Structures are given as structure tokens and as C-alpha cells.
Amino acid sequence: MTLAELLPSIGCSTEPVLEEGLWPDGTHVSGSDLVIGGVPATRLAAQFGTPCQVLDEMTVRRRAQAFTAALPDAEVVFAGKSLPCPEVYRWMASLGLSLDVSSAGELALARAAGFPASRIVLHGNVKTGEDLKAALEYGVSRIVVDSFDEIAQLGALARHGQHVMIRVTPGVDAHTHAAIATGVEDQKFGFSLASGAALEAVLRVVEQPSLRLVGLHCHIGSQVRHVASYEEAVRRMVGLIASCGVRIEQLDLGGGFCAPYLPGEPSFDLFGFAQRVRGTLNYECRLHRVPVPRVLVEPGRAIVANAGVTLYRVCAVKRGVSRTFVAVDGGMSDNPRPALYGAQYVVRLVGRGGKLHPVTVVGRHCEAGDVLAENVPLPADVHAGDVLAVPATGAYHHALASNYNQVGRPPVVAVADGTARPIVRRETEEDLLRRYA
């Protein structure tokens, strides 16, 4: 008896193994299909067309609950920019999370979701007059100010007692891609701790009769792997709290908790974070003789990235001089992350296995840099009509999508318990034409 024949008899599957941690919980290979949230990928591609961004609801819910369970004393604020969608915001509201938005547009989605204003935080290094007015009108609970101009503008617009936090640049290197490293000095976000601007911002807010300073905020970057980076931020922020001379009730440590994109990459050590950050915070507050503030965290990617899978259809296969190009019906308009950050992805052919051969998966857009994945193994006979699945596409994919080349943006289809429903519909030519004179 061969091993393959033996395994089913002892209860083991001979189905190809999916890369651990990258796919939504419970995703499995059945027969020749990939099943996500109980729904076969071939059915999703046929019913909703391709490209299609599939989102497993249970994975999103479980990841959100992992944060609230690991940090029971903290306020967990979903970073709305990572997956802007009213239905997703409703899930977060029902799980007791708060929400951060960074524009009047994201706030409009939150309003459409009926998200309680008492749990919304407004961010952004630029908030236009419209952003601020929309936030004040809805009554968002906290506005994170990011410049002296904004403090003055908000001071003039706000009614008495608008709660405010100050965005601080703590000078912490989070060891991530430069485009998403926001904790280091000399950049556009926040008030520098080292230069004294942060302390000056505290004084300016306190001077404004219409504002009430409730907290300090920092966000050291995105796709942060090391808990030590957050511990360092805590140390520096508590030092600032101690020199403020006013009571700081809330300390927002931002988001940035990493998610795996490639096999072997770790998930964020949430338990370690909870323990170590709590320990460091208590220690530093005791050392500086200041009351321990309530902690806020703002996860986005760690909740939604691995809940998402994008399905594409192969349109053409071309043999280059040294590479085989597999061209699909999407590309940098639904995933600009490889072009922006050199992001890498796993690609899997849905429907069959076979001898694997390295290929380059490219998009349909008019740029040679429109490459989705380089040097990924796919069955050697990959051909037009095949469906490809790309995991870890739940965060900053729908959010960053464009309609470059007037290609409509894909739908987001939520799957749960064997059913599928669009929570964002596909963008049509009518949608595109609506904006033009």
C-alpha cells in the first residue's frame, strides 16, 4: 500500500496542504476546488466574476475578538482605512470595537453603518475644513490633532469640550518599509517628541477653551513584527506624559501589527504584546509617578489581511526569453502593493494540481511594472480560463484599488457558512461614466 493510499484509512487527508496562516480559517482543498467560508472558489468566480475579492466573515470576527480578548482593559479601535466598508464596520460595532477614520469619506461609511459616534476616532495629518466639520457634526468622540494649524482651526470650529488626542512622533524605528514607517523623526506625521513640538502641542491644546486634551497618540508604522518596538514607544510616550504637567487619561499606541503574506512569516505575537506592553506601561508609570492611562490600539491589517483571498482568471500565457508570463484580468488597479512596497504574494491555481513551474503573474494594465507575483510556482500547463487564488489580500486591497485604465474595481464578496454575498458590488461602466461631463 502506498502512503497516499494509507493516509485516508488513518484519517489523514491527501489533499494538497495550504500554506499555514495565510488563508482564511477553515479554507481547504476539496477535490480539485478551494473552499473558502464553505463556498467553492470556482463557484464564487462563476457567480461573481473575476477579479473578485473574497472575505471570510468568521476569520474577520475571530481576529477582532482575539484583540478584545487579549487586551480586555484596552479600547480596540478598528483601523477603518484597511478595509473601508459599512458592512465590515457593522461587524466591528457588534463586536464592541471602536473605529478610526481618516477623512469625511471614511466617516460617511461609518455613518452609513450606523457606527456609534461615541466610539469613533478621527485621524490624519491633513484634515480639511470639511473633514473637521463632518466629524464635529456627527459628534465623533475624539479627534487626533496633527499640526499647530489644525489645533487652531479645530479650536475655532469646535463646541466646548471636544475631546482631543495629540499625534506624537516618538522617534521609534519599527523596522518596516520606509513608506509605512511612521514613528521615525523628520516626516510628515505628528509632532516630534525629540524637538519639543509634542510638548508645545500639549500647551496649545490646553490653551483652547473649546478643546479638552484626553490623550496622546502614536503610530510607529505598519507591518511591525517586534513587540520591542511598541515597548520602546511606551517608554517614550510615558516620559512625555510625565513632562506634560496635565493628566493624560488615554494612550493610543496605534496599529501596525503584522500579518503573514508568505509561508513561514509569523503572525503578530498578540499575547506577548499584551503582556509586555502592560508590564512596561505599569513600570514606566510607577517610575514617573503618573497614573496609568487607558490603552488604545488600532489594528487594521492583523484583523482583515488573512481573511481575504482574491480570485483572478488567467487571460493569456506568454513565454518570454527567460520567464513565463501568466496574465490575469486584474492587476495593479486591485493590488498596487507589489509596485508600492515590493510586496510579495503566494498564488495558487484553483481546480487542479500538476507539475509546478515558476512563472510571473502579471496584470492587465499598461505598465511593465504591473506585476502581481514574481517567480511563483504554478502547474506547467496553466492556461487561459484557469482561476488563480491569492491569499492575504483582505487589508489595503479594496482600500487602495483604483480604476486605472477605466477597469472597474472588483467586488468584495463575504463568505460565511457556505453562503456568499457581495458587501461591495463590482464597479460598472455606468459608475465610471457617471463622473464625466
| Closest of 308, 262, 255 to residue 25, by C-alpha | 308
For ligand LLP, give the closer residue by CB, 299 or 351: 299
Q: Is 254 near ligand LLP (CB under 6 A)?
A: yes
Q: Give the residue ranges of the annotated binding site for substrate.
A: 301, 337, 341, 367, 396
Helix (H, G, I), strand (E, B) or coil at 380: coil
Question: Which residue of 57, 298, 334, 370 would you call a contact of ligand LLP, by CB under 6 A?
Answer: 298
| Footprint (CB under 6 A) of ligand LLP, residues 11-40 | none
| Footprint (CB under 6 A) of ligand LLP, residues 135-174 | none
| Closest of 420, 431, 419, 412 to residue 84, by C-alpha | 412
- Cα 340 to Cα 56: distance, rounded to the nearest angstrom: 26
| Closest of 74, 72, 68, 70 to residue 294, by C-alpha | 74
Amino acid letter for position 141:
S
- Cα 250 to Cα 192: distance, rounded to the nearest angstrom: 19
Beta-strand (E) ranges in 28-106? 28-30, 33-36, 39-40, 52-56, 75-79, 98-101
Question: Which residue of 63, 111, 123, 236 would you call a contact of ligand LLP, by CB under 6 A?
Answer: 123
Cβ pair 32, 16 in contact under 8 A: no
For ligand LLP, give the closer residue by CB, 40 or 260: 260
User: Does residue 315 have an active-site annotation?
Assistant: no
Q: Is 79 near ligand LLP (CB under 6 A)?
A: yes
For ligand LLP, give the closer residue by CB, 121 or 327: 121
From residue 363 to residue 402, the character string flagging contacts with ligand LLP as x (rule: CB under 6 A) and all else as - is --------------------------------xx---x--
For ligand LLP, give the closer residue by CB, 252 or 284: 252
Q: Give the nearest distance from C-beta 31 to ligand LLP in angstroms.
A: 34
Q: Give the nearest distance from C-beta 14 to ligand LLP in angstroms.
A: 36
Longest dimension (CA), the chain: 82
Q: Give CA separation, 434 vs 45, 167, 273, 428, 431, in Å.
A: 27, 38, 47, 10, 5
Q: Is 308 near ligand LLP (CB under 6 A)?
A: no
Stretch that binds ligand LLP, among 54-62, 103-111, 294-302, 318-326 (CB under 6 A): 294-302
Q: Is 256 near ligand LLP (CB under 6 A)?
A: yes
Q: Give the residue ranges of the annotated binding site for pyridoxal 5'-phosphate.
A: 256, 298-301, 396
Bridge partners (DSSP) listed for residue 387: 313, 350
Cβ pair 182, 189 in contact under 8 A: yes
For ligand LLP, give the closer residue by CB, 303 or 327: 303
Q: Is 233 near ligand LLP (CB under 6 A)?
A: no
Vertex 74 angle, CA 301 and 106, to 5°: 45
Q: Is 229 near ligand LLP (CB under 6 A)?
A: no
Q: Is 257 near ligand LLP (CB under 6 A)?
A: yes
Q: What length does the chain have?
A: 437
Residues noted as catalytic: 366
What residue ranges bind ligand LLP (CB under 6 A)? Answer: 79, 81-82, 100, 123, 180, 219, 222, 254-257, 298-302, 337, 341, 395-396, 400
